Amino acid sequence: MLAQYLPILLFLAVTAGIGVALIVVGNLLGPKHPTAEKLSPYECGFPAFEDARMRFDVRYYLVAILFIVFDLEIAFVFPWAVVFRELGLFGLVEMGVFLSLLVIGFVYVWKKGALEWE
């Protein structure tokens, strides 16, 4: 029974060994020229102008959550499209209900102004 897992364990050991070896070789042979400019904080092409622990607007998180919801929607639609012929009319109605709920939620969020960015 354990012999079946030997190739997987061997693969994991080799990949872990290669990963560690690359990090060690990079640290040993790589150039080390730290300057004040290289050690300074860097943000989007210009120096940081505020503290890293500043408060974000709640709308930022709302947009992120909406992105995740609609990204997961695609994770449900692709498998459904693959087995669409086997599901028949029942599958079509179920996906219609699912997409309708998502559209209703999207319209609600849009009407509340959550997607308006100032």
Cα radius of gyration rounded to whole Å, the chain: 25
State the residue range of the domain holding 37. Answer: 2-111
> Is residue 7 a part of any domain in this protein?
yes
> Is residue 117 a part of any domain in this protein?
no
Phi-psi region of 44 (alpha: psi -120 to 50; beta: other; left: phi over 0): left
**For 65-111, what is each residue's pLDDT tens digit?**
888 888 888 888 888 889 988 988 999 999 999 999 989 988 998 89
> Is residue 16 a part of any domain in this protein?
yes
Q: Are residues 114 and 64 in contact, defined by beta-carbon separation less than 8 angstroms?
A: no
**For 42-73, what is each residue's pLDDT tens digit?**
666 666 666 667 777 777 788 888 888 888 88
What is the tally of structural domains in the chain? 1
> Is residue 43 a part of any domain in this protein?
yes
CATH number (domain holding residue 16) = 1.20.58.1610
> Is residue 74 a part of any domain in this protein?
yes
Per-residue pLDDT, 3 = 84
